[in-house]
Structure 1
Amino acid sequence: MTIVLNDTVRKLLDSPHPAVLTTLNPDGGPQSSVVWVARDGDELLISTERGRRKERNIARDPRVGLTVFDTANPFSYVEVRGTATLAEDTGREVAVLIAEQYMGPGGGKEYAEAPAENVRLVVRITPTKVLGNAAKAG
């Protein structure tokens, strides 16, 4: 079943707020990383580099959690639980898109010009549960 995000959640996710992505380590313990996030409809996109712990964790166990809060009002937040898939970011398009969303035009230059051996991946999160104040609004 696809979860439909309400307008308040979409607005929060579309603003350049840092997010915290939590994946599961091999021992079952949590591993959290501060990330930038973008939205593709009701799915969430994150960019990472091949070989990072979050990539290895997702490849083994796709269950993830992502928390975003409004930096101007930390009591406005959303937690998205879901499953993640990994795909190569061909041409680093998603990495550049997300960087420019957070840093403005030209903000993705470092990703676009990175050496070819620095392979970027797209983490695509399909929500299965949405919690938090923003999830209740709208």
Structure 2
Amino acid sequence: MAELSDKVIEFLSAGTRTGMLGYVAADGRPLVAPVWFVVDDGQLAFTTGRDTSKGRALARDSRVVICVDDPPPPYSFVQVQGLASVSEDPQDVLDIATRTGARYMGADRAEEFGRRNAVPGELAVRLRPTKVIAGFDISD
């Protein structure tokens, strides 16, 4: 298992950068979808619906990748490859949804978004890193 360095965690946790989740469709096509995420005990965590394309793909194949970039110069990115695990535990889903809501919508709306997104059929997903590739300040 690869570990997220302090510098990678700081980058991934900064602001409201969106992760791009790469996964494989049922017919083998590669797909990418944006996800809001938080760093949770050395893993990337997000929520998704069990019956969405992402949720169905995770049930078939837990191998995924998330790439996060910082597009203004001097350009940086982190790619986290790994294995996803899912939980339907209501408290787990609520925890991740609330923390994600706080990050992307603000602390004052965290509970609102947590409750809105922690409904039956939602999954808490954790990506356990197996490989991390990072490039910081690429154009310097």
Q: What is the CA-CA distance between 1:3 and the residue it aligns to?
A: 1.3
**Counterpart among 84, 96, 115 of residue 112 in structure 1:** 115
* Kept after mapping to 2: 8 A contact 1:17/1:71: no
Deviations 1:7-56 (A, max 9, x none): 22101111221110011111221111111111112111011122111010
Q: Which runs of 4+ in 1 moved over 6 A?
A: none
Between stretches 43-52 and 100-109, larger displacement belongs to 100-109
Partner of 2:3: 4
SS at match of 1:26: coil
Distance 1:36 1:55 in 2: 15
Q: What is the CA-CA distance between 1:112 and the residue it aligns to?
A: 0.8
* Superposition map of 1:1-138 within 5 A: 2-15=1-14, 16-73=16-73, 75-91=75-91, 92-108=94-110, 109-113=112-116, 116-117=119-120, 119-134=121-136
Q: What is the CA-CA distance between 1:101 and the residue it aligns to?
A: 1.3
Paired residue type of 2:12 = L
Q: CA RMSD in A?
A: 2.1
What fraction of aligned residue pairs are identical, expressed as a percent? 32
- Give the unaligned 5+ runs of structure 2: none
After TM superposition, the score normalised by the length of structure 2 is 0.84
Distance 2:125 2:2 in 1: 18
Residues 1:74 and 1:101: Cα distance change in structure 2 (over 3 Å): farther
Distance 1:115 1:47 in 2: 8
After TM superposition, the score normalised by the length of structure 1 is 0.85
- Give the unaligned 5+ runs of structure 1: none
Distance 2:68 2:35 in 1: 10
Distance 2:127 2:118 in 1: 27
